[in-house]
């Protein structure tokens, strides 16, 4: 269940968001609300929400100041609600990594779509953090790929490269080649390969392999599958090739990695 905190100084809007929207249907629960940024900051500290939905202009501390202060200590996603006159100002808050924006009056269908997207990001982030923790605990050397960083937080990534990353995320269980993606995007594989490295700082094949290894660690830790099954689930040609790629990144075989988790 995704925990929501609503911070809005206009009582009618705040109560409308709390009581007129079917949060449970979206897999969410409103754990609290606040009428200004100062109290919102207190609630973030106390309740640790997954998502903060906040207005910008509020007494004492405005929404952007509240987010900036809270982000120094806590990890959460933010959805800004604002009037049209504030909208351009809100979009400038890139450094706060605001997830999305909504104009008043709130369109419930747009809100639902944003919530579905933010739920995916939160789930991916949780998996990413779990993998990172397990790898760090075992002192392994895989520099893991945070898909969210590229898909949500980095405006330097072009739409074409974002499409490539989305394709990797959706098709990691298959054999992925840059030639296949080049055909879909109607451009040369050489050009895509060069642009991908320029914008991400990593080669396409390295990116794909690292993401597949991350997914393999997730599957290995579940204890539900045999190594050869995982190799097949990740689109590797055979078990031996998967084991070789795994060892290249983790300095140990998949079986040894499993044994270190016991």
What residues in the chain have per-residue pLDDT under 50? 139
> What distance in Å separates the CA atoms of residue 165 and residue 246, rounded to the nearest whole number?
21
pLDDT computed for residue 193 by the predictor = 93
3-state helix, strand, coil in the chain (%, to 5): 60, 10, 30
> What distance in Å separates the CA atoms of residue 146 and residue 43, rounded to the nearest whole number?
29
> What would the pLDDT profile of 127-155 be if each residue is shown by its tens digit?
778 777 766 665 455 667 777 777 766 55
> What distance in Å separates the CA atoms of residue 109 and residue 114, rounded to the nearest whole number?
9
pLDDT computed for residue 35 by the predictor = 93
Q: Which long-range contacts (CB under 8 A, 24 or more apart) does 155-164 make?
A: 155/94, 156/199, 157/199, 157/200, 158/195, 158/199, 160/185, 160/187, 160/192, 160/195, 161/195, 161/196, 161/199, 161/200, 164/192, 164/196, 164/204
Q: 231 is written with which tokens?
A: 């190799």
pLDDT computed for residue 126 by the predictor = 83
> What would the pLDDT profile of 18-38 be if each residue is shown by its tens digit?
999 999 999 999 999 999 999
DSSP 32: E
Q: Which domains does the chain have, with CATH numbers?
A: 2-120 (3.40.50.2300), 139-260 (1.10.10.60)
């Amino acid at each position: 269940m995704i925990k929501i905190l609503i911070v809005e100084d206009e009582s009618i809007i705040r109560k409308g968001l709390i009581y007129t929207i079917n949060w449970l249907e979206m897999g969410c629960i409103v754990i609290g609300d606040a009428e200004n940024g100062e109290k919102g900051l207190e609630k973030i500290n106390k309740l640790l929400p997954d998502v903060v939905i906040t207005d910008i202009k509020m007494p004492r501390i405005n929404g952007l100041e509240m987010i900036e202060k809270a982000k120094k200590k806590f990890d959460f996603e933010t959805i800004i609600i604002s009037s049209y006159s504030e909208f351009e100002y809100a979009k400038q808050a890139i450094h706060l990594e605001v997830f999305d924006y909504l104009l008043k009056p709130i369109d419930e269908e747009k809100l639902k779509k944003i919530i579905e997207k933010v739920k995916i990001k939160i789930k991916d982030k949780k998996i990413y953090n779990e993998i990172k923790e397990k790898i760090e605990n075992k002192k392994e050397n895989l520099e893991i790929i945070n898909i969210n960083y590229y898909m949500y937080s980095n405006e330097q990534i072009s739409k074409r490269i974002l499409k490539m990353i989305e394709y990797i995320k959706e098709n990691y269980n298959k054999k992925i080649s840059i030639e296949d993606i080049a055909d879909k995007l109607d451009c040369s594989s050489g050009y895509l390969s060069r642009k991908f490295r320029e914008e991400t700082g990593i080669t396409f094949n390295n990116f794909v392999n690292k993401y597949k290894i991350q997914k393999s660690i997730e599957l290995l830790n579940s204890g539900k599958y045999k190594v050869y099954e995982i190799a097949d689930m990740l689109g590797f040609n055979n078990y031996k090739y998967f084991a070789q790629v795994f060892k290249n990144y983790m300095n140990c075989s998949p079986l040894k990695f499993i044994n270190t988790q016991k």
